[in-house]
Amino acid sequence: SSSSDSSSSSSSSSSSSSRKDRDYSVKFKFNETKSTGLSRWIVLGLGEAKAKSAREIFKPKIKKNSSLLTNPSLDEAFYIRLKSVKNSAAAKNNIDPLEKVYRNQTYKLIDAVKPLMFLASRIGRKKKSRKITLAVRAALKLWAVLYNDVTTTRRRNILSQIYPQNIGLLDNIGILPVGGELLFGPKFVDALVDQVNTLNKLDQAGKSAAPPP
């Protein structure tokens, strides 16, 4: 009962915090110098040396065996299927041009979240203004949305090429991995196999029940 009460209290607190965030609006000035610098980075890029330096500043220590900062790769079964569909002998990294682009973007997203993780880790240690806390929390939420969008697009891109009739399985988030080394994971593969087998049986049953010509 105490566990249930604790869970309920935590959920209520989280919900209350979320409502407060929605009702909170922060207006601020971004000076011309900083705006010009940001514009230059957007238009011209940073250059490989500066980008590499920025990537390597923050190195979070996370729980052992955590897959939070792992860029998933294409599952072997899907790679084999893609090779067959495309009639290609390309390596996994080159079997699909869009997947290659999305995976490279995922590496950059993982690099981008590290400074945010650092800021989030510091908020609890020192008394910070509510606005700073809100900014970090909002940035992490928006980053997570973007990461989820890219990962979902990667999965849809692959599945639409090899099992287009089963793409609805991607709506079942309970069978999709949260982090990890595989893009789809064993639970999804098992569910896909079950669905394909069921559809094949229904197709055969339909043919058997059809009247003779």
pLDDT by residue for the chain (213 residues), tens digit each? 444 454 444 445 455 555 556 667 878 887 877 788 888 888 888 888 988 898 899 898 887 667 888 999 999 999 999 999 999 999 999 999 999 999 999 999 999 999 999 999 888 656 668 888 889 999 999 999 999 999 999 999 999 999 999 999 999 999 999 888 999 999 999 999 999 999 888 877 766 665 666
pLDDT at 79: 97
Residue ranges covered by each domain of the chain: 2-184
Q: Which two tokens stand for residue 140?
A: 């992490």
Report whether 195 contacts 169 (CB < 8 A): yes
The pTM assigned to this predicted structure is 0.79
The C-alpha atoms of residue 120 and residue 60 are separated, in whole angstroms, by 11
pLDDT at 17: 53
